[in-house]
């Protein structure tokens, strides 16, 4: 069963951003700079309602959802929680001790790899099966490790006990979901460090090329300062218990609700704690969104959030650009669909399964980030101006918006050409292609809609 914590401290060293990760897809394995920068969470959670409304099989629903993602381009797919019947939820995959059912997860892996989508494996033990529980709270280590070995072996691509038809193995594994939150992990921070340790040892013994993400750390919403303080405290305790040696990638959820989304603050806060223990880790954000609901629900009942569809579409681009500049490597939007009574308007598709402007912006952003190399904010500007220099395989361009009133800006110091081409993020319903304009470099219009700017000539 879960021990209080391992007594020994683990030797740590800075983790260099991986130069080569063997994904073992058909053909040569991609290098790290070729991995997608964007992902989508909660892709298959509406299966029951969709099948009841439209008919068809679960496999057809999976194909339908994956086709929507394929239209974006190569992206990561993540799922967490027992509400998704296709997920690697322990009690769903192993309903009785030693009896495994991978039917729906196999279907999503098989269909995803055929559409160029990459799977993030989420090991979900938030509600362990009854046969594995200890004292009503924790689970038996031996039974957990048997489950973990079974799922990793099935998707590691080594040719032994692999899923039939596997061509794109799962090489990234997330251990749990929101362990610092309410109800996702019932043990202490020290217990979670222990689970990280036995998980990573098992995964890499089975597949040395695999990378392990810490479960997406929850930091609160709508400027919940106490939750953020608690998140740092729990993360510190996890690292103090040796947990820093047992994950390769830091991972958290960014839901706060302003232009910076406090992303700079949050990434820096986690980095400072990692530094305290002599650690450097890559960062992923595996959940982020901008809500359209009129009021929150649950503990957020009565909290009014009245964003427009236009603002949501703008925010997706802003959130991702801010995150990449803050040091985040991969950014996930949460979720794919608006489902009546559930999703609070956060989806890429509306309740009639039609794409929203935020979908087209994710598609636009994916194309603009192809061959991503670097990004840097240009800070010789007022605080209300967000200007970034972005480097991709297509060359250098700038991303610009303001959080103040519309204005014009002289970019002569940044641009060699006299004129610039401006490609605007999509904000209006019914539009699927970005608007393109030209302007003199000395008089570039700036609005709250992000615009990508390249010199002409």
What pLDDT, on a 0 to 100 scale, did the predictor assign at position 303? 58
DSSP string, 416-427: SSSEEEEEEPP-
Whether residue 301 is predicted with pLDDT greater than 70 in this model: the reply is no
- Contact present, 399 and 385 (Cβ < 8 Å): no
What pLDDT, on a 0 to 100 scale, did the predictor assign at position 268? 96
- Contact present, 219 and 225 (Cβ < 8 Å): no
Which of 92, 83, 75 is CA-nearest to residue 44?
83
Tell me: the pLDDT tens digits for 136-183?
Answer: 677 999 999 999 999 999 999 999 999 999 999 999 999 999 987 665
Whether residue 201 is predicted with pLDDT greater than 60 in this model: the reply is yes
Task: Specify the residue for token string 């089975």.
Answer: 206
- In the structure, what pLDDT confidence band is assigned to residue 186 with cuts at 50, 70 and 90? confident
Query: Cα–Cα–Cα angle for 417, 422, 427, nearest 5°?
Result: 170
Whether residue 74 is predicted with pLDDT greater than 70 in this model: the reply is yes
Is it true that 32-370 and 377-455 share their CATH fold? no
To the question of domain 377-455 being in CATH 1.10.3470, the answer is no
What pLDDT, on a 0 to 100 scale, did the predictor assign at position 227? 86
Whether residue 321 is predicted with pLDDT greater than 50 in this model: the reply is yes
| The length of the chain, given as a count of residues | 457
List, in order, residues 6 or more apart from 208 with CB less than 8 Å away: none
Whether residue 390 is predicted with pLDDT greater than 60 in this model: the reply is yes
The pTM of this model reads 0.90
Please say whether the dihedral angle defined by the alpha carbons of residues 363, 367, 372 and 374, taken in this order, is positive or negative: negative
Q: Decide: helix, strand or coil at residue 117.
A: coil
**107-116, 235-244, 339-348, 365-374: lowest mean pLDDT where?**
339-348
What pLDDT, on a 0 to 100 scale, did the predictor assign at position 105? 97
Record the tokens describing residue 131, joined without a space: 């046969």
What pLDDT, on a 0 to 100 scale, did the predictor assign at position 81? 73
- In the structure, what pLDDT confidence band is assigned to residue 252 with cuts at 50, 70 and 90? very high
What pLDDT, on a 0 to 100 scale, did the predictor assign at position 28? 33
Q: Decide: helix, strand or coil at residue 249.
A: strand
Question: What percentage of the chain carries pLDDT values higher than 70?
Answer: 86
Mean pLDDT of 267-292: 95
The DSSP code for 450 is -
- In the structure, what pLDDT confidence band is assigned to residue 193 with cuts at 50, 70 and 90? very high
Q: Tell me how far the alpha carbon of residue 278 is from its chain's centroid.
A: 25
Distance, CA of 369 to CA of 390 (rounded, Å): 9
Which of 17, 14, 12 is CA-nearest to residue 246?
12
Distance, CA of 136 to CA of 284 (rounded, Å): 32
Record the tokens describing residue 282, joined without a space: 């890559």
Domain locations in the chain as residue ranges: 32-370, 377-455
Greatest mean pLDDT among 49-53, 125-129, 201-205: 201-205
What pLDDT, on a 0 to 100 scale, did the predictor assign at position 283? 98
Whether residue 9 is predicted with pLDDT greater than 60 in this model: the reply is no
What's the CA dihedral at 108, 113, 116, 117 to 10 degrees? 40
Question: What percentage of the chain carries pLDDT values higher than 90?
Answer: 70
- Contact present, 45 and 3 (Cβ < 8 Å): no
- Work out the mean pLDDT of the chain and round it to a whole number: 87
Distance, CA of 121 to CA of 155 (rounded, Å): 9
**114-123, 181-190, 447-456: lowest mean pLDDT where?**
181-190
To the question of domain 32-370 being in CATH 2.40.10.410, the answer is no
Left, alpha or beta for 98 (phi > 0: left; psi -120 to 50: alpha)?
left
Q: For residue 144, what are the β-bridge partners?
A: none
What pLDDT, on a 0 to 100 scale, did the predictor assign at position 339? 83
What pLDDT, on a 0 to 100 scale, did the predictor assign at position 436? 97
What pLDDT, on a 0 to 100 scale, did the predictor assign at position 300? 54
User: Can you give the three-state secondary structure of 307-367, one letter per residue?
Assistant: CCHHHHHHHHHHHHHHHHHHCEEEEEEECCECCCCCCCCCCCECCCCCECHHHHHHHHHHH
What pLDDT, on a 0 to 100 scale, did the predictor assign at position 17? 30
Whether residue 10 is predicted with pLDDT greater than 60 in this model: the reply is no
Task: Specify the residue for token string 């395989």.
Answer: 393
Mean pLDDT of 282-295: 85
Distance, CA of 437 to CA of 285 (rounded, Å): 32
Q: For residue 388, what are the β-bridge partners?
A: 377, 399
Query: Cα–Cα–Cα angle for 298, 301, 303, nearest 5°?
Result: 135
Whether residue 94 is predicted with pLDDT greater than 90 in this model: the reply is yes
Tell me: the pLDDT tens digits for 410-430?
Answer: 999 888 889 999 999 999 888
**6-10, 106-110, 120-124: lowest mean pLDDT where?**
6-10
């Amino acid at each position: 069963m879960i021990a209080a914590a391992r007594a020994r401290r683990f030797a740590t060293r800075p983790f260099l951003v991986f130069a080569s990760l063997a994904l073992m897809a058909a053909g040569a394995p991609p290098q790290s700079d070729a991995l997608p920068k964007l992902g989508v969470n909660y892709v298959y959670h509406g299966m029951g309602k969709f099948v009841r409304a439209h008919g068809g099989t679960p496999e057809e629903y999976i194909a339908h959802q994956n086709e929507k993602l394929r239209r974006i381009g190569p992206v990561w797919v993540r799922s967490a929680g027992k509400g998704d019947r296709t997920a690697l939820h322990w009690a769903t995959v192993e309903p009785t001790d030693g009896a495994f059912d991978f039917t729906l997860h196999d279907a999503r892996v098989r269909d995803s790899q055929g559409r160029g989508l990459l799977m993030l494996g989420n090991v979900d033990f938030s509600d362990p099966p009854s046969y594995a529980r200890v004292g009503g709270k924790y689970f038996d280590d031996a039974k957990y490790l048997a489950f973990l070995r079974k799922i990793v072996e099935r998707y590691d691509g080594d040719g032994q006990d692999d899923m039939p038809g596997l061509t794109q193995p799962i090489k990234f594994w997330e251990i749990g979901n929101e362990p610092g939150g309410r109800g996702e992990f019932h043990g202490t921070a020290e217990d979670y460090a222990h689970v990280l340790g036995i998980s990573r040892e098992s995964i890499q013994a089975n597949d040395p090329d695999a990378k392990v993400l810490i479960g997406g750390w929850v930091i609160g919403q709508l400027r919940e300062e106490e939750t953020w303080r608690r998140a740092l405290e729990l993360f510190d305790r996890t690292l103090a218990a040796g947990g820093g040696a047992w994950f390769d990638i830091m991972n958290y959820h960014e839901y706060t609700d302003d232009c910076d989304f406090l992303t700079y603050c949050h990434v820096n806060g986690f980095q400072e704690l990692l530094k305290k223990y002599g650690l450097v880790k890559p960062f992923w954000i595996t959940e982020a969104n901008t809500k359209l609901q009129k009021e929150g629900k649950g503990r957020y009942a009565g909290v009014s959030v009245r964003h427009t569809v236009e603002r949501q579409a703008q925010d997706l681009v802003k959130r991702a650009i801010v995150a990449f500049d803050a040091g985040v490597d991969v950014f996930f939007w949460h979720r794919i669909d608006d489902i009546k009574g559930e999703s609070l308007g956060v989806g890429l598709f509306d309740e009639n399964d039609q794409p929203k402007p935020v979908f087209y912006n994710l598609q636009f952003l994916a194309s603009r980030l192809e061959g991503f190399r670097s990004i840097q904010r240009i800070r010789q500007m007022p605080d209300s101006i967000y200007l970034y220099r972005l480097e991709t395989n297509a060359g250098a361009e700038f991303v610009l918006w303001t959080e103040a009133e519309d204005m014009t800006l002289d970019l002569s110091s940044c641009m060699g050409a006299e004129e610039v081409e401006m490609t605007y993020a999509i904000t209006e319903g019914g539009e699927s292609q970005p608007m393109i304009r030209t302007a003199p470099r000395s008089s570039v219009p700036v609005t709250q809609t992000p615009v990508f700017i390249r010199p002409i000539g």
